[in-house]
Structure 1
Amino acid sequence: MRALGAALVAAALVVGTAVPAQAHGTHGERCTPVAAGTPLREAIAGLPDAEASGAILLLHDAGGCRQGTAGIADVRTGRTVPVDGRFRIGSMTKTFTAVVTLQLVAEGRLDLDETVQHYLPDLLPAGTAPVTVRQVLTYTSGINHVEVPNKQSAWFLEHRYDRWAKGSQIDTAKPLAFTPGTKQRYGNVDYIVAGLLIEKVTGRTWESQIQRRIVEPLGLRGTTAPGRDVEIRGPHAHGYEATDAGWVDVTRADTSLQWSAASIVSTAPDLDRFMVALFSGRLVPEPQLSEMFTVPAGIKLYDGNDDPSDDKDAVYSAGLTKLPVGPLTLWGKSGDRPGYNNGMAATRDLSSRLVFSVNTLHMGGSDQPVRSQRIIAAALLGL
């Protein structure tokens, strides 16, 4: 990987950026800066580098609340990454959409065992096998997404302001990839369908339901479903793509392609507050909440072949992912957009909680950035 220019590195503030006096944890406790010489600080040291321009992390565990930032938020000014900075959370949006869908189930306005065809009779072609709401939330529907290379640099830079109509992301010309309920295939399309279901039964936009049902009740001041807005409003670190000609700012973008699957903007403190409320049952009541902590039994991940010898067990529930990390079992969600790679996860009892965002410089990679891996290992395993 190419080394960054010396001028950019000199502009960066290395790890240990002072936490603003007003920065507090979810329950009002003061968060302290990550301490020098600790694995957590080392995990975000040395930014920017060839992989990332900046990072934010927020950790709650037996040691209390700690947060830190590193790197630069704006290459033009050398401004440092704000600890309460907003970022594009990508597929972590799916957790928000699952919450609203399950709230509607609890209200009797949706039924998990009813079909998509019942609620949206014109969405799928006649003769398509029945697909249930539960199968949509657990990625077991087999519905196909329109295939575009949206995480490839050249495509993104050309199409970053394209406008997609709601539902146009679904490829209804293709037959289902598998019989509904028999495989699990992660992707955006199921949560595009969930967004359409929300709009159908409420008569309101998905964005308004996110705002009314989650953002306002929890007081999430840095969280928005942007709709047509291509900006990130408020304090934030810019996202960049490293090219042969230098860093290209990729912060501004139309998010209609991702919509109800991956478009929300948020902050680390807001996402921590969201997790606490969700896991505590304040957002989704039982028995619907249990759907978010139940991976479909006996289902394998879809890999496109008929060889059972390389099949892997399903790992996704309704809106969350089951994440074994060393001796811990966490539930959470990752997400990325050009310039941003993020994650949130917690133990079921909320005793350990992590939120992070890394400003990656190379979109489209299939592997999690090394910097993100280092943050996870330091925060949850002390490595």
Structure 2
Amino acid sequence: MTKSSLSTNSPASHRRWIGLAAGCAALVSLTAGALPAAAADGAGPAPDAAAGAEVRVRLDEAALQGLMVPDKVASGTMARVSAPGVRWTGVTGGLSQDPAASFRIGSVTKLFTSTVVLQLVAEGRFTLDTPVQRILPGTLPAHWAPITVGQLLSHTSGLGRPCVAPENPQAPTPAAVVAAVTDPACPAPEYPVTRQQYNGINHFLAGMVIEKATGRSYADEVQRRIVRPLGLRHTYLPAAGDTSMPAPSLAAPSEVEPWAWAEGGMISNAPDLERFLGALLRGRLLPPAQQRELFAMPALAQGARDPMSRAGLLRAELPDGTVVWGKTGSMEPYTSGLFGTADGRRVLTYAYTGVTRDPEVQRTRALDLVAAAF
């Protein structure tokens, strides 16, 4: 993303929105190891959904501290690990030492969006097989093949990236961002879909589905359904155009103008995120049928380098066989991640201020942090 002072018609401004809708993050996901064959569509939870329940009690603090030393990847890092018998927090590089320090969570926002969508499915508002075209008539071209709500969450919609700048790119509406993908100049979605392809446009559409189904704003629904019930005092979606950060914040505010709405726009802190993921994984936010979607892997995730569940959770299998689930995100100036064992007993939250935007370097750092924490 680029500075807000760019001309709205400049090539750099155009690239900004293409990059934003691609995920608002250079790092999109991570994993190690292939999926079990039984983890296909309709097979229910992956056989390893409960794996990782018996993780070690002791924490490799030395490994975590070594990864947090300022270097060519990160100028400062915050990491927090919570488990029975373990509560560890480390901060380096001049970041705030306040445990309540807030930061922009980028694409970790998608977990909140997916959770609200699954709650609406549980209420019978629609199903994961309902075409988006039925809920949002006229939003997608009539000649496109149906795209279902479930395909949005699992990144199997076949949607491409924006090929034009949206109307009013400094403060676009969600509909304008989607229109930048559906413009006649853009290619139609891949059909039949042959692969899982991470794309932030999926969650812009998911946010629009939430608003259409409820008659309320996306921000209001996240507050009503997740934030208030869990007592997340530092978690919210800023209003459009609000570039401020609450005090204390983990690092000095960036000059970049943030905006990614239901795809990547939320602000939170480590204790709130830890509570959210723990509650999600332990089944406090979803009924059993929708809870199973957290760990069920779509058929198109088979063989993917970075597989995601039907609910959009990343699956990472560590060298010792431990399986963890979560999400990464990036929104200037932060790169962040949130991972836990399937039973929610151990959770890692991290955020760092990046030196490089190289996705492979960021991916490696995420894998290393996860491996040290579990």
TM-score, normalised relative to structure 2: 0.76
CA contact (8 A) 2:307 2:315 kept: no
Q: Say whether residues 1:192 and 2:227 are aligned partners.
A: no
Q: Say whether residues 1:336 and 2:330 are aligned partners.
A: yes
Seen in structure 2, the aligned counterparts of structure 1 residues 148 and 276 have a Cα distance that, compared at 3 Å, is farther
Q: Percent identity?
A: 36
Tell me the equivalent position of 1:269: 271
CA contact (8 A) 2:101 2:269 kept: yes
Tell me by how many angstroms 1:162 deviates: 1.4
Write out the 4+ residue segments of structure 1 that deviate beyond 6 Å after TM superposition. 34-37
Name the amino acid aligned to 2:257: A
Name the amino acid aligned to 2:88: R
Seen in structure 2, the aligned counterparts of structure 1 residues 182 and 299 have a Cα distance that, compared at 3 Å, is farther
CA contact (8 A) 2:153 2:310 kept: yes
Deviations 1:205-250 (A, max 9, x none): 11111111111111111111112211121211225xxxxxxxxx62
Q: Say whether residues 1:114 and 2:130 are aligned partners.
A: yes
Tell me the equivalent position of 2:285: 283
CA contact (8 A) 1:341 1:372 kept: no
1:183 counterpart SS class: coil
Compare the two structures and name the one with the higher strand fraction. 1
Q: Which moved more, 1:205-214 or 1:226-235?
A: 226-235
CA contact (8 A) 2:329 2:337 kept: yes
CA contact (8 A) 2:59 2:372 kept: no
CA contact (8 A) 1:113 1:132 kept: yes
Deviations 1:274-306 (A, max 9, x none): 0111111111112011112111025568xxxxx
Seen in structure 2, the aligned counterparts of structure 1 residues 369 and 293 have a Cα distance that, compared at 3 Å, is closer
Q: Say whether residues 1:216 and 2:238 are aligned partners.
A: no
Tell me the equivalent position of 1:157: none
Match of 2:258 among 254, 257, 267: 254
1:367 counterpart SS class: helix
Name the amino acid aligned to 1:70: T
2:350 counterpart SS class: strand
2:299 counterpart SS class: coil
Tell me by how many angstroms 1:251 deviates: 5.5
CA contact (8 A) 1:231 1:253 kept: no
CA contact (8 A) 1:182 1:299 kept: no
Deviations 1:14-50 (A, max 9, x none): xxxxxxxxxxxxxxxxxxxx999732323323x3x44
Match of 1:325 among 305, 318, 321: 318
Seen in structure 2, the aligned counterparts of structure 1 residues 172 and 220 have a Cα distance that, compared at 3 Å, is same
Seen in structure 2, the aligned counterparts of structure 1 residues 360 and 193 have a Cα distance that, compared at 3 Å, is same
Structure with bigger gyration radius:
1
Distance across 2 between alignment mates of 1:39 and 1:366? 20
Q: Which moved more, 1:368-377 or 1:342-351?
A: 368-377
Seen in structure 2, the aligned counterparts of structure 1 residues 350 and 137 have a Cα distance that, compared at 3 Å, is same
1:82 counterpart SS class: coil
CA contact (8 A) 2:156 2:300 kept: no
Seen in structure 2, the aligned counterparts of structure 1 residues 361 and 231 have a Cα distance that, compared at 3 Å, is farther
Distance across 2 between alignment mates of 1:204 and 1:98? 16
List gaps (5 residues or longer) in structure 2.
1-57
Tell me the equivalent position of 1:137: 153
The answer to which structure, 1 or 2, has the higher relative contact order (CA under 8 A, 6+ apart) is 2
Match of 1:232 among 223, 242, 245: 245
TM-score, normalised relative to structure 1: 0.74
Deviations 1:46-73 (A, max 9, x none): x3x4432321111123541111111113
Distance across 2 between alignment mates of 1:116 and 1:39? 45
Tell me the equivalent position of 2:50: none
Aligned pairs for 1:1-383 within 5 A? 38-45=62-69, 47=70, 49-61=71-83, 63-73=85-95, 80-147=96-163, 162-170=170-178, 171-173=181-183, 174-179=186-191, 181-228=193-240, 229-238=242-251, 250=254, 253-255=257-259, 258-299=260-301, 314-326=307-319, 327-363=321-357, 365-368=359-362, 371-380=365-374
List gaps (5 residues or longer) in structure 1.
1-33, 74-79, 150-160, 240-248, 302-310
Name the amino acid aligned to 1:42: G
1:287 counterpart SS class: helix
Distance across 1 between alignment mates of 2:87 and 2:312? 26
Tell me by how many angstroms 1:182 deviates: 3.5
CA contact (8 A) 2:234 2:267 kept: yes
Tell me by how many angstroms 1:177 deviates: 3.1
Q: Which moved more, 1:81-90 or 1:328-337?
A: 81-90
Count of aligned positions? 310
Pairwise CA RMSD: 2.7
CA contact (8 A) 2:59 2:373 kept: no
